[in-house]
């Protein structure tokens, strides 16, 4: 019996795979548990259309992420912080401060997607950071820490 998997099933296949299994396994376990649906002709057509649309959306998201990474590549943002007389920063620069500086420069990113390349930023100077734009696409940029 042919079925379309809705979820990953160990030793059988991944979600959206069309597989052939024994009738009892499909009727008594996979379909009632919600792991699969019966692969009728109409279900196969709907499945193919869903895969096509998902691929189109994926390509659009990837294209937008690559454009954002390219925009970030040549960028240098300034983060202003309070500094002591000796040049040390009170505390350290956080990803939230970098995300706010990027927003001021016209690039909206989530602070959870920002990663500072160096261990900690506790002095003024120029540092590097990266932003996770999409699954495997990262954009790196420089940020300058300046006294307030």
Q: What's the CATH code of the domain at 114? A: 3.10.430.100
Instruction: Supply the pLDDT for residue 27.
Output: 96
Per-residue pLDDT tens for 3-21? 999 999 999 999 999 999 9
Question: With a threshold of 0.85, does the pTM exceed it?
Answer: no
Please say whether the beta carbons of 144 and 78 come within 8 A. Answer: yes
Distances (CA, A) of 100 to 27, 94, 133: 54, 10, 16
Same domain, 60 and 6: yes
Same domain, 78 and 143: yes
Per-residue pLDDT tens for 117-146? 888 888 888 999 999 998 889 999 999 999
Using the 3D structure, point to which of 65, 95, 116 is the last residue of a domain: 65
Same domain, 61 and 76: no
Q: What average pLDDT does range 70-95 have in this prediction? A: 89
Question: What's the token pair of residue 135?
Answer: 């699954």
Give the CATH number, domain containing residue 46.
3.40.5.10
CA 45 to chain centroid: 30
Mean pLDDT for all residues in the chain: 93
- Give the DSSP letter of residue 90: S
How many independent structural domains does the chain possess? 2
Q: What average pLDDT does range 42-59 have in this prediction? A: 94
With 80 as the cut, is the pLDDT of residue 80 above it? yes
Using the 3D structure, point to which of 65, 87, 117 is the last residue of a domain: 65
Instruction: Supply the pLDDT for residue 64.
Output: 94
């Amino acid at each position: 019996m042919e079925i379309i998997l809705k979820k990953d099933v160990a030793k059988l296949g991944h979600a959206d795979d069309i597989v052939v299994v024994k009738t009892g396994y499909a009727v008594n376990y996979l379909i009632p548990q919600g792991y699969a649906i019966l692969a009728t002709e109409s279900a196969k057509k709907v499945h193919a259309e869903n895969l096509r649309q998902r691929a189109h959306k994926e390509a659009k998201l990837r294209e937008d992420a690559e454009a954002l990474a390219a925009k970030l590549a040549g960028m240098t943002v300034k983060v202003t912080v309070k500094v002591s007389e000796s040049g040390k920063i009170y505390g350290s620069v956080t990803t939230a401060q970098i995300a706010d500086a990027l927003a001021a420069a016209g690039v909206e990113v989530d602070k959870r997607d920002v990663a500072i390349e160096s261990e900690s930023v506790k002095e003024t100077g120029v540092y590097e950071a990266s932003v996770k734009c999409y699954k495997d696409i990262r954009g790196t940029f420089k940020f300058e820490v300046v006294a307030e």
